[in-house]
Structure 1
């Protein structure tokens, strides 16, 4: 018996939504039919797809035309739209981040009905290189992790990126900048592979490279329960930028840079060699292996197919919505540490952070959108 298509409504029809729509109509996402679209203005796209256009998300959700929604609206509206959909017992795929804050995200997770699938578009979990790094760490071959370091300054954004949007890079509309937009993927992978730190001490620069009120450069120092340390550096103002991710263990290390993944394994643990060698300038012998892959995957389609299979067959979600809380906790903690000039402990006091964000939002406003014509190549947006 053929699997029945889910009836998908897409709320928000911007750049990323168009990519999801293309994945469905091209067949990259299986067992899924778009039956409704929602945006303030009807572009005629719904008619082309044989779907119904709605101008209000409530009307789409209440229509009976959908059993599932994909929410790809500005971050400001994630909470209210997702809340409404979950309360109507629909399945929900939400674009990142899960909310303006992890407090909002936690409230949404609490609302999710037991029989509804609630997932987040954390697509970089399907990247073959990051999946390989996670596999290496979980194998234990590197021993106990001692230090982590990710410099991700390869998120360069020119001014027009912000000018053509009224909500981006505002406390009111996005709840932050670099951390909750671009680097939320990196922070998710960082904690997915290396674990959640116990303390954060951070330094953010606000509007250093752009005429925006939120952070566009970040340096964060992390400390873990086992006394491992970490550093995360991000920027949207550097060109060409750097993307280097290092994980150092007692038995060796793994390094990602420029698409290349390298593993270095010592012939004995660093601690053991340090304690027992009589060579004053000695080093353990090391074996270097190239673990790089040239495999290319459609990350968004993999996440959507997994979501559809979860609905039909209760397949375990690659990125359940609750998993989006950890990276947002880290992002929120980095901002809080920088604002208060003090170390922040995790688990994060989410209500306390929300109060701080509310203060920022009260003095924030959405910007006036520029009428400039922006050239959009979504493939160039991914790093």
Structure 2
């Protein structure tokens, strides 16, 4: 199901779920030269109409609105479906797409269940062998700064990575949680500050530091009502490399601050704040005895960003040069388009998304049990039947 780049036409996309994130994907896909939005599905007519209107405003033909996913997939107007429904529906929707022989992209997270994620990983592997693309949105891996840090870690430029930090201090009002019956539920949201809002930040931490080994966590519901999930969580994580990390996630930090990832090693450090590379220092194989001078002159962030801007960076290759929230998704769709054309694997596979989902689940399991948990135990199903809970504060 690959495409010859020399004769390729835009990939025809179906958006399943036309809420806020569905509108966003509609904008990104319409602006992208390799995609066209041809079909929409959502049980709410006003939602599909809003996406269709936005697509037309951007100069494209109006997509067809279908009553069901099955009808859209049978229409012969779809090559790829983008799943933007509540998290608990992701795998069911994606499986239907795969069974119809189409490519599929799932918004984050992969799902709310690690057990279902494991089963779907097998489905996705068979689909990939059949030439179908299956990818999960993790757009911040495509941020320029994140790509720089990942490359530096791979090249051991930070020396031995010793520690990391993932923190997200955001705010969500009570009205936000009251705005939909699925919000704030374990069944469809899969969790709160960590699963819903913080999963991208956790994903970057894991991408940089490697495979987790053990998690110790606490969760609480401290500033909201009428929800099942946490609005505040903390955790420590030990990785296979020996590196240690701290995770802090909250939607109760009024009026809402930033998300930050830090990586520290024996020869250097990096800080990403609100998706931008704020600090970067990588040693040349030795440390300076003049620490004061090293601190004063040690920030190489601008230098590294300059190299990327002038070096044809593969992670900033969006031809649309979008701004803000659109940028990361557009870069990921660059990767998806390339994978479709070349018959290659996308950067973010289901297996990768499953590892990040398992890390989030490990945090919830530890908080529920009040004890450390082994990451592999969670990933391999030991706690599949555990009902996770949160301290209501």
TM-score, normalization by structure 2 = 0.80
Which residues of 2 match residues 165-204 of structure 1 at below 5 A?
A: 165-204=180-219
Quote the residue 1:245 is aligned against: 261
**What SS does structure 2 have at the residue aligned with 1:181?**
helix
Which of 225, 229, 235 is 1:214 aligned to?
229
Quote the residue 1:262 is aligned against: 279
Which residues of 2 match residues 86-125 of structure 1 at below 5 A?
A: 86-112=98-124, 113=127, 114=129, 115-125=131-141
**What SS does structure 2 have at the residue aligned with 1:179?**
helix
C-alpha displacement of 1:201: 0.5
| Contact 1:82 1:92 (8 Å CA) reproduced | yes
Quote the residue 1:35 is aligned against: 38
Deviations 1:334-373 (A, max 9, x none): 000000011111224343333124x77xxxxxxxxxxxxx
| Contact 2:14 2:78 (8 Å CA) reproduced | yes
Deviations 1:122-169 (A, max 9, x none): 11111111111112222212111111122221x221122111111111
Quote the residue 1:76 is aligned against: 88
Which of 333, 339, 351 is 1:322 aligned to?
351
Quote the residue 1:289 is aligned against: 299
The separation in 1 between residues aligned to 2:283 and 2:64, in whole angstroms, is 61
The separation in 2 between residues aligned to 1:217 and 1:18, in whole angstroms, is 28
Quote the residue 1:378 is aligned against: none
Quote the residue 2:378 is aligned against: 349
C-alpha displacement of 1:243: 3.6
**What SS does structure 1 have at the residue aligned with 2:111?**
coil
Quote the residue 2:71 is aligned against: 59
Does structure 1 residue 228 correspond to structure 2 residue 243?
A: yes
Higher helix share: 2
The separation in 2 between residues aligned to 1:18 and 1:266, in whole angstroms, is 44
Stretches of structure 1 lacking an aligned partner (at least 5 in a row)? 361-383
The separation in 1 between residues aligned to 2:245 and 2:139, in whole angstroms, is 24
The separation in 2 between residues aligned to 1:229 and 1:301, in whole angstroms, is 33
Is the alpha carbon distance of 1:347 and 1:309 closer, same or farther for their aligned partners in structure 2, counting shifts above 3 Å?
same
Is the alpha carbon distance of 1:138 and 1:302 closer, same or farther for their aligned partners in structure 2, counting shifts above 3 Å?
same
Is the alpha carbon distance of 1:75 and 1:257 closer, same or farther for their aligned partners in structure 2, counting shifts above 3 Å?
closer
Q: CA RMSD in A?
A: 2.6
| Contact 1:10 1:36 (8 Å CA) reproduced | yes
| Contact 2:161 2:264 (8 Å CA) reproduced | yes
Which of 16, 19, 24 is 1:11 aligned to?
16
Quote the residue 1:376 is aligned against: none
**What SS does structure 1 have at the residue aligned with 2:341?**
helix
Which residues of 2 match residues 110-149 of structure 1 at below 5 A?
A: 110-112=122-124, 113=127, 114=129, 115-149=131-165
C-alpha displacement of 1:235: 0.7
Aligned residues: 347
| Contact 1:198 1:347 (8 Å CA) reproduced | yes
| Contact 1:251 1:265 (8 Å CA) reproduced | yes
**What SS does structure 1 have at the residue aligned with 2:202?**
helix
C-alpha displacement of 1:79: 1.8
The separation in 1 between residues aligned to 2:336 and 2:291, in whole angstroms, is 48
Does structure 1 residue 161 correspond to structure 2 residue 191?
A: no
| Contact 2:165 2:205 (8 Å CA) reproduced | no
Deviations 1:246-298 (A, max 9, x none): 2221223223346452234568767xx9xxx9xxxx96973502314497751
**What SS does structure 2 have at the residue aligned with 1:353?**
coil
The separation in 1 between residues aligned to 2:383 and 2:176, in whole angstroms, is 27
**What SS does structure 1 have at the residue aligned with 2:299?**
strand
| Contact 1:261 1:290 (8 Å CA) reproduced | no
Stretches of structure 2 lacking an aligned partner (at least 5 in a row)? 1-5, 310-320
Which of 324, 333, 336 is 1:304 aligned to?
333
The separation in 2 between residues aligned to 1:235 and 1:186, in whole angstroms, is 12
Deviations 1:54-106 (A, max 9, x none): 12222222333312111101112112111111122210011111111222222
